Amino acid sequence: MSSVLELNDVSIQFGGLRAVGGLTFSIQPGELVGLIGPNGAGKTTVFNLITGVYQPTSGSIKFGGVSVPGHKPHQITKLGIARTFQNIRLFSSLSVFDNVRTAKMMHLRHGIAHSLFRGPAFLDEEAMIENEVFDLLDIFDLGKEASTPCKSLCYGDQRRLEIVRALATKPKLLLLDEPAAGMNPTEKEELMHLIQFIKDKFQISVLLVEHDMKVVMGICQRIAVLEYGVKIAEGTPAEIQNNPKVIAAYLGTEDGKGPLDA
């Protein structure tokens, strides 16, 4: 089976700084992969490369056989990659409903002209989108909050809404950037179930950047470890936990127990 996403020898340079160097890895359909590493290892940069926010200095990124670099971020979303952000980036002045509706825009058959004439085709499509958005909100228990301004949701719900919004683009691959950040243990537990649930329900691949080792080790099938922009290890959670290089990267020494011992 061919990979969903394939990074081959990808590097990016900012001035004199090589943020990511020679990164090669891939994600298979339906796989949940973790990307971990110490602060500043280049995890978010990898996300930005995959989603077209940055262009790689060298190397190739292929999504379903299509070369990603050179596409604008919004085109890449249309190809089927959706993401969330480390620091939540909801549309702060919009309601919960409209936040999700925005993601539906790219599936529209009608455009500016239809929205002006407001004929039967337009109204039908708007009604259809409304239903789809509500279906999605209901799955995640946000349906009753549809008219709420998104910034008055609680933190955990904002994180969830961001994931729902990403799912509304109907992605084949979902990138989650530190979804557990700022959550308490109960919320983290719920999040783990949520990610599992999404992967199974929507039949998509997930790439997860996360600092919380309990979350990563608990749900990922495979984990890649970055340090200074270079992949130092890749394998199952068990392999990663016992990899001396990874332990050294996190602790700087080769003894003792570290954050990897969940």
Partner 1 sequence: MDQFVQQLLNGLFLGAIYALIALGYTMVYGVLRFINFAHGDVFMLGAFGGLYVHKALAPLLNALPWPLALAVVMLASMAICAALGIAIEYFAYRPLRNRPRLNVLITAIGVSLFIEYTGQLVFGATQQPFPAIIPRQNISGLGGLTVTMTQVIVVVVTTALLIGLRYIVMRTRLGLAMRALSLNPTAAALMGVNTSVVISFTFGLGSALAAAGGILYASLYPSVDPFMGIQPGIKAFVAAVLGGIGNIPGAALGGMIIGVVETLVTGYSQKLGIPSGYKEGVAFIILILILLFKPSGLLGKVEREKV
Partner 2 sequence: MQLLLKYRTQAFLLLALLVSFVVSQASDNIDGYVLQIMLVAGINIILAVSLNLVNGHTGQFSLGHAGFMGVGAYMSAAVSVEMGPSILGLLGGPSTLSHGVTFVIALLVGGLCAAVCGWMVGVPSLRLRGDYLAIVTLGFNEIIRVVFQNTSSSGPFGGALGMRGIPDYSTFFWVFGIAAICIYVVASMVNSTYGRGFLAVRDDEVASESMGVNTVRYKVVAFVLGAFFAGLAGGLYAHLFGAIDPKGFGFLKSVDIIIMVILGGMGSTLGVVVAAIGLTTLNEQLRDAEKFRMIVFSILLIVMMIVRPQGLLPVTFEKKRRKSA
Residues forming the site for partner 1 (CB under 8 A): 44, 48, 53, 85
Q: Which is nearer to partner 1, 176 or 223 (CB)?
A: 176
Type of residue at 58? S
Does residue 132 touch partner 2 according to CB under 8 A? no
Question: 10 Å Cβ neighbour count for 2?
Answer: 10
Detail the DSSP E strand segments found in 121-217.
Answer: 173-177, 205-209
- For residues 68 and 12, give the distance between their C-alpha atoms in angstroms, rounded to a whole number: 14
Does residue 123 touch partner 2 according to CB under 8 A? yes
Residues with Cβ < 8 Å from 143, sequence gap 6 or more?
134, 137
- For residues 231 and 208, give the distance between their C-alpha atoms in angstroms, rounded to a whole number: 15
Options 12, 33, 101, 231; binder of partner 2; rule CB under 8 A = 101
CB of 200 closer than 8 Å to CB of 246: no
Options 134, 202, 228, 250; binder of partner 2; rule CB under 8 A = 134
Site for partner 2 in 145-174 (CB under 8 A): 146-149, 165-166, 169
Options 118, 193, 201, 245; binder of partner 2; rule CB under 8 A = 118
Q: Which is nearer to partner 1, 89 or 144 (CB)?
A: 89
CB of 225 to partner 2, least distance (A): 25
Q: Which does 44 bind (CB under 5 to 8 A by kind): partner 2, partner 1, none?
A: partner 1
* Best CA proximity match to 195, nearest among 207, 185, 186: 207
- For residues 115 and 135, give the distance between their C-alpha atoms in angstroms, rounded to a whole number: 23
**Interface contacts to partner 2, rule CB under 8 A:** 51-53, 72-74, 77-78, 82-83, 85, 89-95, 97-98, 101-106, 108, 110-112, 114-116, 118, 122-123, 125-127, 129-131, 134, 143, 146-149, 165-166, 169
